[in-house]
């Protein structure tokens, strides 16, 4: 059997990272087995459709490198891949189900449905539904005479098509993550398959497409588990073999209490969406991992570990490594707690793996924003090599790197005061004199530093922090001598002099 899997988001807004994790696991499974990964847009619920959401999904997958083999913008043998372009297909199967007696027309108005619910509630039903029992008292093709049903349809009276669920039957399926899962059909309601607007519901469209698109494995979030018995019935009634199912565990709040939501991200200061989303209806902006300084490979790594474990204590993995190690057997059943600190740590590990060259474009962008040019790529790469060690997020790089491009004019007065001693002035002046005007190595600088200290009889170690502040404006930062050396002798001298002038004005001795 060839592996064909799909990611089937509904374009109802930005893609939650739970959805991205589903896409990732499908991708990994497909690549691992040399199979095909499909993007299918499930846009049949017109009331929930949000313009821009489909483009958002595609952009997010592209940023993350989760390339699909077939999709709305990638023609394949099973297209179209947007459900709104397939409505005629679903209609045919809905009709087939009615003809075979597995589905029926229902003409009930919203008022009649409401009256039924009220009646049932009065009779003590906690959650009244349209099911094997109540359908007997409603206006549908099971209770109306055949000719009346025909007449209503001919007159254009709105109707839906509902699944006729069996009265008392065990519906079971084997889930790759959970083992055997069983439901009693008496607990199911007669789900609407085709709506009055002629569009299918999720259930019908999903099953028809998974079949027609030759999907071998349905890998999706746990929230769809309760829909699966409905799907299993549909496969049976349509005479089709169901695919294998795998339901992924929920992604939980950091506290572990409930599903991770946008609100949790807002409160905890971390994104729950891959890329930034600007809601076209409200203008509200939702934070994204991309804009918050995460690397795409780190986001994939963070998500991979939410529900799957590669074993052997491995935590930092590239997409290729994940692909090699992935298996559904190692996906857990219980919810996976999202840990924002660990997410940052994982990003940091991936930043450390990046070369300075790979990070240079990020600094280039920041420089361009400020209209600064005149630095070559090699310099940018060297800066990034030095500063990435201290960065957890890509966005930390610029504040750490800024002084390599912009000389400080302000210094932290409190710290300077605390560290200041009279010999500092002489020391820095003497150091400046010892430096060459041109390029400088870290070793030459360190030697000059030691010599200046010796000549004045001061401890070199004690001079370091003020030297750092003098050249960077900051009390801490990247490895001192390599960073300072990169600035070059001439620039260092200038900065030391500027600092000494400032100190004269701000410090009383």
Q: Does 177 bind ligand GLU (CB under 6 A)?
A: no
In whole angstroms, give the CA distance from residue 194 to residue 357: 55
- In the DSSP assignment, the letter for residue 176 is T
Pair 39, 61: CB distance under 8 Å: yes
Among 134, 141, 206, 216, binds ligand GLU (CB under 6 A): 206
Catalytic residue of the set 32, 262, 337, 354:
262
- In the DSSP assignment, the letter for residue 253 is P
Among 3, 10, 31, 68, binds ligand GLU (CB under 6 A): 10
In whole angstroms, give the CA distance from residue 291 to residue 398: 14
- Which of residues 42 and 297 has its CB atom nearest to ligand GLU in the complex? 42
Give the range of 2-10, 28-36, 122-130, 338-346 binding ligand GLU by CB under 6 A: 2-10
Find the binding residues for ligand GLU in span 24-63 (CB under 6 A).
42
**The residue to which tokens 């055997």 are assigned:** 180
Q: Is 418 a catalytic residue?
A: no
Q: How far is the CB of 245 from ligand GLU (least distance, A)?
A: 10
Among 5, 9, 380, 432, binds ligand GLU (CB under 6 A): 9
Q: Does 220 bind ligand GLU (CB under 6 A)?
A: yes
In whole angstroms, give the CA distance from residue 277 to residue 13: 8
**The residue to which tokens 């990611």 are assigned:** 7
Q: How far is the CB of 205 from ligand GLU (least distance, A)?
A: 9
State the number of binding residues for ligand GLU (CB under 6 A). Answer: 8
Among 63, 224, 375, 379, binds ligand GLU (CB under 6 A): 224
- Which of residues 243 and 335 has its CB atom nearest to ligand GLU in the complex? 243
Q: How far is the CB of 333 from ligand GLU (least distance, A)?
A: 18
**The residue to which tokens 């707690």 are assigned:** 337
For residue 64, give both structure tokens.
């993350």
Q: Strands 160-163, 192-194: parallel, antiparallel or unpaired by DSSP?
A: antiparallel
For residue 343, give both structure tokens.
């997410």
In whole angstroms, give the CA distance from residue 90 to residue 93: 5
Give the range of 6-14, 172-180, 270-278, 463-471 binding ligand GLU by CB under 6 A: 6-14
Q: Does 23 bind ligand GLU (CB under 6 A)?
A: no
- Which of residues 90 and 499 has its CB atom nearest to ligand GLU in the complex? 90
Q: Does 8 bind ligand GLU (CB under 6 A)?
A: yes
Sheet holding 170-175: strands in order across?
A: 36-39, 4-7, 217-221, 244-248, 170-175, 179-184
Q: Strands 4-7, 36-39: parallel, antiparallel or unpaired by DSSP?
A: parallel
Active site residues: 262
| Residues near ligand GLU (CB under 6 A) | 8-10, 42, 202, 206, 220, 224
């Amino acid at each position: 059997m060839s592996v064909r899997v799909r990611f089937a988001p509904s374009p109802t807004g930005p893609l939650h990272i739970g959805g991205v994790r589903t896409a990732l696991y499908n991708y990994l499974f497909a690549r691992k087995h040399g199979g095909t990964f499909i993007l299918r847009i499930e846009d049949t619920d017109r009331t929930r459709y949000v313009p821009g959401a489909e483009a958002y999904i595609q952009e997010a997958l592209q940023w993350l490198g989760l390339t699909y083999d077939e999709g709305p913008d990638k023609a394949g043998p099973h297209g179209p891949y947007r459900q709104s372009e397939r409505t005629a297909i679903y209609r045919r199967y809905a009709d087939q189900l009615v003809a075979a007696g597995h589905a029926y027309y229902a003409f009930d108005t919203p008022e009649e449905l409401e009256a039924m619910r009220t009646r049932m509630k009065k009779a003590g039903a906690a959650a009244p539904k349209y099911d094997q029992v109540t359908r007997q008292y409603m206006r549908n093709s099971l209770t109306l005479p055949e000719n009346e049903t025909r007449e209503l349809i001919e007159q254009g009276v709105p109707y839906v098509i509902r699944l006729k669920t069996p009265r008392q039957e065990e519906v079971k399926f084997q889930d790759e993550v959970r083992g055997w899962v069983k439901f009693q059909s008496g607990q199911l309601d007669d789900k609407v398959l085709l709506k009055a607007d002629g569009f299918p519901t999720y259930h019908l469209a999903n099953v028809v497409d998974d079949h027609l698109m030759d999907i071998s494995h349905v890998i999706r979030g746990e929230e769809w588990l309760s829909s699966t018995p409905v799907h299993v019935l549909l496969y049976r009634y349509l005479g089709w073999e169901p695919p294998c199912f795998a339901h992924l565990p929920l992604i939980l709040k950091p506290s572990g209490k409930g599903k991770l939501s946008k609100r949790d991200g807002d409160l905890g200061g971390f994104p729950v969406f891959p890329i930034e989303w600007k809601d076209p209806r409200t203008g509200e902006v939702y934070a994204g991992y991309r804009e918050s300084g995460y690397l795409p490979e780190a986001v994939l790594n963070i998500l991979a570990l939410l529900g799957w474990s590669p074993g052997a204590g491995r935590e930092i993995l590239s997409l290729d490594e994940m692909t090699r190690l992935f298996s559904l057997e190692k996906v857990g059943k219980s919810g996976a707690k999202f840990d924002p600190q660990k997410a940052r740590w994982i990003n940091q590990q991936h930043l450390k793996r990046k070369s300075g060259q790979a990070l240079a474009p990020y600094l280039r962008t920041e420089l361009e924003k400020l209209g600064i040019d005149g630095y070559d790529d090699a310099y940018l790469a060297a800066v990034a090599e030095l500063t990435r060690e201290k960065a957890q997020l890509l966005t930390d790089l610029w504040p750490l790197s800024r002084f390599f491009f912009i000389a400080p004019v302000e210094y932290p007065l409190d710290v300077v005061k605390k560290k200041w001693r009279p010999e500092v002035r002489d020391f820095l002046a003497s150091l400046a004199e010892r430096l060459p005007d041109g390029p400088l190595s870290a070793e030459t600088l360190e030697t000059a530093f030691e010599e200046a200290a010796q000549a004045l009889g001061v401890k070199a170690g004690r001079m370091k922090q003020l030297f750092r502040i003098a050249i960077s404006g900051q009390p801490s930062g990247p490895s001192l001598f390599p960073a300072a050396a990169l600035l070059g002798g001439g620039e260092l001298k200038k900065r030391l002099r500027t600092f000494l002038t400032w100190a004269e004005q701000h410090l009383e001795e």
